[in-house]
């Protein structure tokens, strides 16, 4: 008969084996097992007559939880108390960098991969303690959140060789992103509007061309025909040059048709939005601008005595100063006739200020909008109207924003025209917005 007793394992050995298996299988159980081991050790120490050292001095007693309170450096605290605008500047400043570094130092004590809850909890507390730091757009800390998030990304790049960091981030970097819906190549023959065919489309095009040549074209007729061949028109614009598009649809040179088409696409009256929104923001934009053109424009505004005219001049000046506020290229937005051209890029829409006396951009005779060496329209009566039509051209002709003007146009699209959620603006655009309203 087999003696099973020789295969028996005492309780202590079994406990050790179970503990080691737990440590390998489940990291959380490992932490709990370490905690329980230390707790049992502490109890046994006290039982053997060696109580743990205690003191009534709470200042010298080590805390069981790390101090999670945010420590603000004295220099930064003084800047906050004095409401230093460099803390909310659109450009990168020493104070703003120090603020982000302070937040990073605090949060990195806990983790190098903070969750959104940790970000929000820290920044919400910061805004409650220091209301001056609250931003004027979105949740009140959107730009700061983006800056802090980018700071963590930058610092994590230095830890790539760290095996533990690689293990933690593996589940994110190794995971495939959701596949975006790919735009299938569109066959022009399939882009036929309901109730239309090749013959009817040609007839619509013929009627619109004849109507556009009239001294006073019937705008309602043009709108009705354009609506009936909407799919064909937008497909044609996407696959043909500016010259070919204007030859096929000459009515797109009319300012009222351009404005109507954007209203049909995005349900926004671009002219009214620019007049209403930019007129309010204009004094603030001019105040924070550091463009060398600012003094030249302000001299003309100060000489104006009529209030209504002065409001219009302020709006025009704000438009001309807007690219410099984002440190972008004004020459991609407008060119002054007679001045040396600093940009030869004619592939994107641009305002051409003609007949400018003394080379002053606000002393123009008329304004021409051009693209790809093609004159789109000359019907703008002022710079604010020209800006509205310029945005219409970007949308109607499906033009991507140029790199040197993307922030400016994104600001206009989201903040002025309200076509997108302002909370999703790039961090640099948010900073400019906050600097305007603070």
Task: Give 10-residue mean pLDDT values along the chain (438 residues).
Answer: 48 55 53 60 55 42 51 86 80 83 87 85 87 80 82 76 55 43 41 82 94 94 93 91 94 94 90 89 90 90 85 93 92 84 72 90 93 92 94 93 92 88 77 79
> DSSP string covering 7-42, please?
G---HHHHHHHHHHHHHHH-HHHHHHHHHHHHHHHH
Q: Rg of the Cα trace of the chain?
A: 33
Q: Is residue 28 part of a domain?
A: yes
Q: How many whole angstroms separate alpha carbon 314 and alpha carbon 384? A: 10
Closest CA to 336 of 354, 319, 350, 320: 354
What's the pLDDT at 236?
Answer: 92
Note the helical H segments in 242-344.
Answer: 242-248, 255-266, 270-273, 279-288, 294-302, 307-325
The residues, ordered by sequence, that sit 6+ positions from 162 with a Cβ below 8 Å of its Cβ are none
Q: Is residue 34 part of a domain?
A: yes
What's the pLDDT at 200?
Answer: 92
The residues, ordered by sequence, that sit 6+ positions from 61 with a Cβ below 8 Å of its Cβ are 54, 55
What's the pLDDT at 143?
Answer: 80
Q: Are residues 197 and 145 in the same domain?
A: no
Q: How many whole angstroms separate alpha carbon 90 and alpha carbon 285? A: 12
Q: Is residue 173 part of a domain?
A: no
Note the helical H segments in 82-218.
Answer: 94-108, 116-129, 142-157, 163-173, 198-212
What's the pLDDT at 70?
Answer: 83
- The residues that bridge with 281 in the sheet, in sequence order, are none
Q: Are residues 306 and 228 in the same domain?
A: no
Q: Are residues 245 and 335 in the same domain?
A: no
Q: How many whole angstroms separate alpha carbon 86 and alpha carbon 431? A: 11
Q: Are residues 322 and 224 in the same domain?
A: no
> Contact 414/266 with Cβ under 8 angstroms?
no
* Domain final residue pick, 218, 253, 288: 253
Q: How many whole angstroms separate alpha carbon 104 and alpha carbon 235? A: 49
Closest CA to 242 of 366, 64, 385, 373: 373
Q: Are residues 274 and 236 in the same domain?
A: no
What's the pLDDT at 437?
Answer: 74
Q: Is residue 283 part of a domain?
A: yes
What's the pLDDT at 315?
Answer: 93
Q: Would you say the pTM of this structure is higher than 0.75?
A: no
Q: Are residues 428 and 355 in the same domain?
A: yes
Q: Are residues 26 and 102 in the same domain?
A: no
Q: Is residue 376 part of a domain?
A: yes
Q: Are residues 284 and 384 in the same domain?
A: yes
Strands 366-371 and 374-380, by their bridges, are antiparallel
Q: Are residues 220 and 322 in the same domain?
A: no
What's the pLDDT at 125?
Answer: 87
Q: Are residues 401 and 334 in the same domain?
A: yes
Residues 419, 421, 427, 431, CA torsion sign: positive
Q: Are residues 366 and 221 in the same domain?
A: no
What's the pLDDT at 420?
Answer: 78
Q: By three-state DSSP, how is residue 290 classified?
A: coil
Two structure tokens written together for 52: 């743990």
Two structure tokens written together for 388: 């509205």
What's the pLDDT at 397?
Answer: 92
Cα 26 to Cα 20, 30, 33, 306: the distances in Å are 10, 7, 11, 77
Q: How many whole angstroms separate alpha carbon 55 and alpha carbon 415? A: 60
> Contact 300/292 with Cβ under 8 angstroms?
no
Closest CA to 351 of 333, 330, 324, 371: 333
Q: How many whole angstroms separate alpha carbon 343 and alpha carbon 327? A: 15
Q: How many whole angstroms separate alpha carbon 37 and alpha carbon 43? A: 10
Q: By three-state DSSP, how is residue 377 classified?
A: strand
Strands 374-380 and 334-336, by their bridges, are unpaired
* Domain final residue pick, 142, 161, 180: 161
Q: How many whole angstroms separate alpha carbon 226 and alpha carbon 257? A: 10
Q: Is residue 144 part of a domain?
A: yes
Q: By three-state DSSP, how is residue 389 classified?
A: helix
Q: Are residues 231 and 303 in the same domain?
A: no
Q: Is residue 150 part of a domain?
A: yes
Q: How many whole angstroms separate alpha carbon 135 and alpha carbon 434? A: 6
Total domains, the chain: 4
* Domain final residue pick, 253, 280, 296: 253
Q: Is residue 3 part of a domain?
A: no
For 235, the domain range is: 191-253
Residues 309, 312, 317, 320, CA torsion sign: negative
Tally of residues, the chain: 438
């Amino acid at each position: 008969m087999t003696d099973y007793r020789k295969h028996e394992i005492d309780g202590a050995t079994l406990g050790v084996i179970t503990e080691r298996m737990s440590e390998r299988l489940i990291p959380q159980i490992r932490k709990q097992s370490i905690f329980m081991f230390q707790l049992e050790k502490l109890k046994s120490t006290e039982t053997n007559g060696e109580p743990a050292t205690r003191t009534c001095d709470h200042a010298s007693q080590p805390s069981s939880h790390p101090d999670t309170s945010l420590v603000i450096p004295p220099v930064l605290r003084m800047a906050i108390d004095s409401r230093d605008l460099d803390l909310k500047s659109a450009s990168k400043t020493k104070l703003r960098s120090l603020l982000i570094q302070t937040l990073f130092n605090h949060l990195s004590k806990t983790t190098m991969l903070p969750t959104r809850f940790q970000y929000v909890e820290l920044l919400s507390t910061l805004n409650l303690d220091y209301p001056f730091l609250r931003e004027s757009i979105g949740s009140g800390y959107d730009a700061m959140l983006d800056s802090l998030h980018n700071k963590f990304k930058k610092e994590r790049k230095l830890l790539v060789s760290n095996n533990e960091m690689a293990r933690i981030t593996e589940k994110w970097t190794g995971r495939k992103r959701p596949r975006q819906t790919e735009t299938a190549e569109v066959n022009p023959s399939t882009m036929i509007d309901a109730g239309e065919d090749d013959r009817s489309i040609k007839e619509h095009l013929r009627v619109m061309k004849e109507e556009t040549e009239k001294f006073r074209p019937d705008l309602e007729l043009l709108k009705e025909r354009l609506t009936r061949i909407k799919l064909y028109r937008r497909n044609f614009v996407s696959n043909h040059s500016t010259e070919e598009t204007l030859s096929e649809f000459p009515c797109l040179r009319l300012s009222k048709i351009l404005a109507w088409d954007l209203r049909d696409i995005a349900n926004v009256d671009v002219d009214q939005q620019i007049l209403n929104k930019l007129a309010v923001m204009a004094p603030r934009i001019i105040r924070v601008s550091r463009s060398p053109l600012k003094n030249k424009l302000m001299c003309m505004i100060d000489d104006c005595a009529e209030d209504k005219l002065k409001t219009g001049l302020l709006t025009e000046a704000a438009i001309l100063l807007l690219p410099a506020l984002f440190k972008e290229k004004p020459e991609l937005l407008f060119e002054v006739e007679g001045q040396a051209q600093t940009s030869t890029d004619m592939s994107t829409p641009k305002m051409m200020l003609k007949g400018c006396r003394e080379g002053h951009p606000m002393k123009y005779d008329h304004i021409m909008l051009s693209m790809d060496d093609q004159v789109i329209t000359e019907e703008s009566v002022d710079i604010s109207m020209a800006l509205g039509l310029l945005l219409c051209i970007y949308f109607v002709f499906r033009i991507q924003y140029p790199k040197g003007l993307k922030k400016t146009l994104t600001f206009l699209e989201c903040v002025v025209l309200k076509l997108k959620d302002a909370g999703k603006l790039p961090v640099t655009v948010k900073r400019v917005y906050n600097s305007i309203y603070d």
